[in-house]
Copies of this chain bind each other. A is one copy, B any other.
Amino acid sequence: MTATTPAHDVDAAVASAAAVAALVEEAGPRVRASALCAAADALDDGADALVALAGAETSLREARLRSELRRTTFQLRFFAGIVEAGEYLEVAIDHADPDWPPAPRPDLRRMLVPLGPALVFTASNFPFAFSVAGGDTAAAIAAGCPVVVKAHSGHPRLSDATAELVSAALEGAGLPPGTLSVVHGRDAGLRAIVDPRVRVASFTGSQEAGRLLFDLAAGRPDPIPFYGELGSLNPVFVTRAALARREEEIAQGYVGSFTLDAGQFCTKPGIVLVPRESSLAERVAGLSGASDGAAMLNDRCRASYCDAVAALGAHESVSVLLAGSVSAGGAVTPSVLATSVEDLVADPEGIVSECFGPATLLVYYDREEQLLEAAESFTGELTATVHAEPGEPILEQLLPRLRGIAGRVLWNGWPTGVAVTWAMQHGGPYPAATARETSVGAAGIGRFLRPVTYQGFPDALLPEALREDNPLGLPRRVDGVLRPATR
């Protein structure tokens, strides 16, 4: 089951998705919503076995995995609610108007429609929430798109077990067989992304793999949207005033965030700017040194991480404050490194490099204006954080710059932990993301949709969402005025 999927089976999975695409859409919002809820119920029912399998394949803690599974089932139900509310269709209706400039306007009715078969590449570090039944799968099915999942090699058995439960639940709720399928292996992914029947792809992982896939998607005879999340340093800017008031709280929050689950989060605070004279670095090194460490997701992750930390530690401008170690059992303890803002600005390519694991780099500054220069060293980040006190003059210039480089800007918090809500944005300028649509939260459904306008149609031939009497009770923009839902 978990060996590389042969080419003809990859083709068959894509063919099935293409064959049922119309059925998945025509099933309608109610059936798709109840199918998503049925999938969530099935995962809840199978939680014990799934969590055990996930633990065996990823070394993640049971408590973490149970929490992640709760998030995953919540996410499926959240998207069920979004489908039922129907606002995601963004319906707009402009009635015919003979006086419209410069020429009479016909009756125009716009809505979003599903793109068709979606190819979802899953992530190593979230075996539930960014995997077979994760956010992209939930959003795609909510939108009306069948999904071919390219499973991550870090948890192949869990991927199959999840797919089996979820597929059965989707079918039981009325979606056609073939709505969800799983393929394994690098070659399977490379084959599927250039299949003309695949209409959209999403990815969470390394910059190297993500760029390869992005280039394939963009290089097709018919390029398709590729939503890639390719990594982030998540810089944190700490002012003197913040440290003066809450040094111990900041130290603990920082260590908690960068060491959580062996630092294997795309939102881990990888670079933190602190005043040179502060004792935060020693405090962080001290707290981190007390950690017993934790196993990483798999041997490949550990090897990549160790190489990356060693390379950063070997940079002539970087010093190692705490050298992590790997135990015989594979537990990795945290590493803390340091440099100065002058060195960061002088060689951003050498120093701004992601170490996916329990390492962080403190960057010393003298004058707070240097924070502005430092901010220019980052190109595209999922998050940027400031720890400061309200009213500090530097904020006036620093906050716009942080917004310029990141998809989420935090105040006196830590970037790990990405809530599934309406207002979440998980993305950012390249390489944080290859396109603007979020991978977490309600707006993620937009990844799988495109707009279509109907012109001059008799009511009976329009999709229900566009009919004059609004049988679905949707919120709609009518002649430019937003009208609320009517149910």
Contacts and interface: CB of A to CB of B under 8 A. Distances in A.
Nearest to A433: B450
Most chain B beta carbons < 10 A, residue from A67, A423, A477: A423
A390 B456 CA distance: 12
Interface stretch (A108-116, A285-293, A303-311): A108-116
Interface stretch (A49-57, A243-251, A411-419): A411-419
A451 B407 contact: yes
Interface string A362-392: 0000000000000000011000000000100
A429 to B, nearest CB: 7
Interface stretch (A4-12, A157-165, A176-184, A217-225): A217-225
How many copies, total?
A: 2
A451 B475 contact: no
Nearest to A391: B460
A94 B420 CA distance: 10
B409 A455 contact: yes
A379 B222 contact: yes
Contact of A477 (B225, B422, B460): B422
B70 A101 contact: yes
Nearest to A221: B430
Interface in A435-487: 435-436, 438, 442-443, 449-458, 460-461, 475, 477, 479-480, 482, 484-485
Contacts of A215: 218-219
Contact of A453 (B222, B224, B425): B425
Contacts of A417: 103
Interface string A203-236: 0000000000011001100111100000000000
Interface in A103-148: 103, 105-106, 108-110, 113, 116
A316 to B, nearest CB: 25
A427 interface: yes
A22 B419 contact: no
A461 B395 contact: yes
Most chain B beta carbons < 10 A, residue from A100, A215, A422, A477: A422
5 contacts: A105-B419, A108-B421, A225-B435, A407-B453, A482-B482
